[in-house]
């Protein structure tokens, strides 16, 4: 007997979206002088608010405000005092976490279950964690008196809007820097809510500035002569442009770019658990995850059994309303991203891989893509090489551990990897050989503010999180 789920929608009434938003500069919301744009709800394509765009003069003003705040207030302030502000911000985020989770799901399309249980707790945890470092920097292993860099220009993507903001702003502020941050154009609303939180926390004006706009605003910010540090998370293509622009300046640069992670399943792995890990690895956040386990490498002897189990599990995934608490897979963040996922999936079929999705009814309006796997994928296929950034898994097989390592590392990226096996010695053997910044063993997509995160090769450089994450914001 099949039990039907009744709808269990979270209330939209807990958020208050204004019809329009300005730029948050020097502690005030101000008009932008670029062409304003709209952010939409990707689950139904309804416009949510009109957002100001920063032009060159607006970026100048934001950078100047950050400079003043750094030189006069935040830089000279003791770490102990800075920590109080960060703790206050962390607590306000916790207090407002339901509202922020709903806002994130509306603007981004991700399931409320994830924004509520993953994004928001991690956002608060990052601020708590770096608040703890603010008065202990002299003990962090970066010399007796580590100094801030100054003003950080930070550009973030749309996949984890508030979490990426936390990864950028918390360590920067803890180290005594001030920031100008640009959220992605499809998901600016939680960053603007964070601007209000900065006011609520009485953060001195200019310490955090939020400027909105598209790629051009991002370019104006990262190329601005008045900043000391650039932190970027997003596509490898834009990351390379930024690296070129920063070359020859004395700006410090960290880049967190794409990935094409291998999730490696050995024949001795507990397959039930591995299936959960595979699902979490590629369908979490609609697969809009730079460290997603998008290449499944399964040992040939268990491939058939594992794929049967995986398909049965995929048939239970619920795709639909992001605000429904039963939803596993929400909306694709934008029409453009949906196009890219469709295009690469069609290429996968043309290349001869076997495409499969469970039967699932997709809503009429909005941007949707059914969870999909491709079997019989060859390493040369584009769907095995390029980041799809959607709920699409490419399945490859291997026979020996050495072959698994070779295939796993056969990618221009190196952000993350997963290993599933009962043998501890094999986990260590694999971890030593996988060229990836993070290697998860018998789990996937686990994040913790104390743990550094970052890539090898075209996945970028620099680390965020943990003690390592301080280095990117200190003059060392
Ligand atoms: P993107 O790199 O274009 O955008 C990321 C951020 O950079 C946004 O805020 C954007 O406005 C800004 N930006 C764009 N051009 C810029 C420039 N020239 N200078 C400075 N900032 C600029 O990414 P996208 O177009 O949103 O997504 C494209 C692909 O990037 C995705 O399909 C995915 O493969 C990858 N991606 C990776 C991550 C990640 O977490 N590593 C996140 C988002 C997207
Ligand atoms: Mn949006």
Residue count of the chain: 476
Is residue 390 located within the same domain as residue 307?
yes
For the chain, residues with pLDDT lower than 50 are: none
The parent domain of residue 37 ranges over 12-256+456-475
Q: Verify that 297 and 242 share a domain, yes or no.
A: no
- For residue 256, indicate whether it is catalytic: yes
The pLDDT of residue 4: 84
CATH of the domain at 129: 3.40.605.10
The pLDDT score that the predictor gives to residue 1 is: 63
Same domain, 411 and 463: no
pLDDT attached to residue 3: 80
In this structure, is residue 174 part of a structural domain?
yes
Q: 153: which strand partners?
A: 180, 230
Interaxial angle between packed helices 79-95 and 189-200, expressed in degrees from 0 to 180 and rounded to the nearest 10:
120
Q: Is 6 inside a domain boundary?
A: no
Q: Is residue 386 part of a domain?
A: yes
> Do 268 and 228 fall into the same domain?
no
Paired residues of 460 in beta bridges: 256
The ligand that comes nearest to the alpha carbon of residue 185 is: 1
Instruction: Looking at the structure, tell me whether residues 277 and 235 fall in a common domain.
Output: no
Rounded distance from Cα 42 to ligand 2 centre (Å): 6
Are residues 166 and 229 part of one domain?
yes
Separation between Cα atoms, residue 136 and residue 174, nearest integer Å: 10
The total number of structural domains that make up the chain: 2
Other beta carbons within 10 angstroms of residue 424's beta carbon come to 10
CA of 57 to the centre of ligand 2 (A): 25
Sign of CA dihedral 64, 66, 71, 73: positive
Rounded Cα gap, residues 39 and 22, in angstroms: 13
Is 393 within a domain?
A: yes
Residues 469, 437, single domain; the answer is: no
**Distances in Å between the alpha carbon of 291 and those of 90, 161, 277, 436, 461?**
25, 16, 13, 10, 14
> Domain containing 412 — which CATH number?
3.40.309.10
Closest CA to 222 of 162, 258, 182: 182
Q: How many CA atoms lie within 13 A of 279 on its CB side?
A: 20
For residues 475 and 444, what is the distance between their CA atoms, to the nearest angstrom?
34
252 lies in the same domain as 313: no
Tell me what pLDDT residue 75 has. Answer: 96
The tokens describing 41, both together, are: 């709800």
**Shared-domain flag, residues 460 and 377:** no
The pocket of ion ligand 2, defined by CB under 5 A, consists of 39, 107, 186
Q: Is residue 398 part of a domain?
A: yes
Same domain, 247 and 137: yes
Looking at the fold, whether 180 and 275 belong to one and the same domain comes out as no
| pLDDT score recorded for residue 124 | 98
| Residue whose pair of structure tokens reads 């394509």 in the numeric block | 45
Residue 85 contacts residue 203 (beta carbons within 8 Å): yes
The pTM of this model reads 0.98
Q: What is the pLDDT of residues 103-126, one digit of tens each?
A: 999 999 999 999 999 999 999 999
Query: Which residue intervals of 150-288 are DSSP H helices?
Result: 161-174, 189-200, 215-222, 236-246, 271-283
Q: What residue ranges line ligand 1, CB within 6 angstroms?
A: 155-159, 182, 184-185, 214-215, 218-219, 222, 233-235, 238, 241-242, 256-258, 290, 337, 340, 387, 389
Question: Using one digit for the tens of pLDDT, what is the confidence trace for 154-210?
Answer: 999 999 999 999 999 999 999 999 999 999 999 999 999 999 999 999 999 999 999
Residue 2 lies in a domain: no
Q: What is the DSSP letter of 295?
A: E
Q: In angstroms, what is the span from residue 200 Cα to ligand 2's centroid?
A: 24
Helices (H), 72-224: 79-95, 97-108, 112-114, 120-134, 161-174, 189-200, 215-222
Residue 451 belongs to a domain: no
Beta strand 416-420 with 262-265 is parallel
288 and 245 co-located in one domain = no
């Amino acid at each position: 007997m099949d039990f039907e789920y009744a709808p269990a929608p979270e209330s939209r009434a807990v958020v208050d979206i204004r019809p329009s938003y300005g730029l948050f500069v020097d502690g005030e919301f101000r008009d932008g002088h670029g062409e304003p744009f709209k952010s939409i709800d990707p689950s139904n394509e309804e416009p949510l608010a009109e957002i100001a765009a920063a032009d060159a003069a607006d970026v100048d003003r934001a950078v100047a405000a950050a400079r003043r705040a750094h030189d006069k207030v935040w830089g000279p302030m003791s770490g102990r005092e800075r920590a109080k502000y960060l703790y206050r911000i962390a607590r306000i985020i916790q207090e407002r976490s339901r509202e922020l989770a709903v806002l994130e799901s509306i603007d981004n399309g991700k399931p409320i279950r994830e924004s509520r249980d993953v994004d928001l707790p991690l956002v608060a945890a990052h601020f708590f964690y770096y608040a703890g470092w603010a008065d202990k920097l002299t003990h962090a292993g970066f010399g007796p008196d580590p100094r801030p860099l100054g003003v950080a220009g930070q550009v973030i993507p749309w996949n984890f809007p508030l979490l990426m903001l936390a990864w950028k702003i918390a360590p920067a502020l803890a180290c005594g820097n001030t920031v100008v941050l640009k959220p992605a154009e499809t998901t600016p609303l939680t960053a603007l809510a964070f601007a209000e939180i900065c006011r609520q926390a009485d953060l001195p004006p200019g310490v955090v500035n939020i400027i909105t706009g598209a790629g051009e605003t991002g370019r104006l910010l990262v190329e601005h002569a008045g900043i000391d540090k650039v932190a970027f998370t997003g596509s490898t293509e834009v990351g390379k442009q930024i690296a070129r622009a920063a070359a020859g300046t004395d700006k410090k640069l960290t880049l967190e770019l794409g990935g094409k992670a291998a999730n490696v399943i050995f024949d001795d792995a507990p397959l039930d658990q591995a299936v959960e890990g595979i699902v979490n690895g590629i369908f979490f956040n609609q697969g809009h995850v730079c460290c997603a386990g998008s290449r499944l490498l399964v040992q040939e002897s268990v491939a058939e059994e594992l794929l049967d189990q995986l398909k049965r599990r995929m048939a239970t995934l619920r795709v639909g309303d992001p605000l429904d608490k039963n939803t596993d897979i929400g909306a694709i963040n934008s029409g453009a991203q949906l196009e890219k996922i469709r295009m690469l999936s069609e290429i996968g079929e043309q290349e001869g891989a076997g495409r499969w999705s469970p039967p699932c009814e997709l809503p009429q309006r909005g941007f949707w893509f059914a969870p999909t796997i491709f079997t019989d994928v060859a390493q040369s296929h584009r769907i095995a090489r390029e980041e799809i950034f959607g709920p699409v898994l490419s399945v490859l097989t291997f026979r020996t551990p050495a072959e698994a390592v070779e295939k796993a590392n056969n990618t221009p990226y190196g952000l993350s990897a997963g290993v599933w096996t009962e043998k501890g010695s094999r986990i260590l053997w694999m971890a030593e050989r996988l060229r990836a910044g993070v290697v998860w063993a018998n789990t996937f997509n686990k994040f913790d503010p104390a743990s550094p995160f970052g890539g090898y090769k075209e996945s970028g450089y620099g680390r965020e999180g943990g003690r390592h994450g301080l280095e990117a914001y200190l003059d060392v």
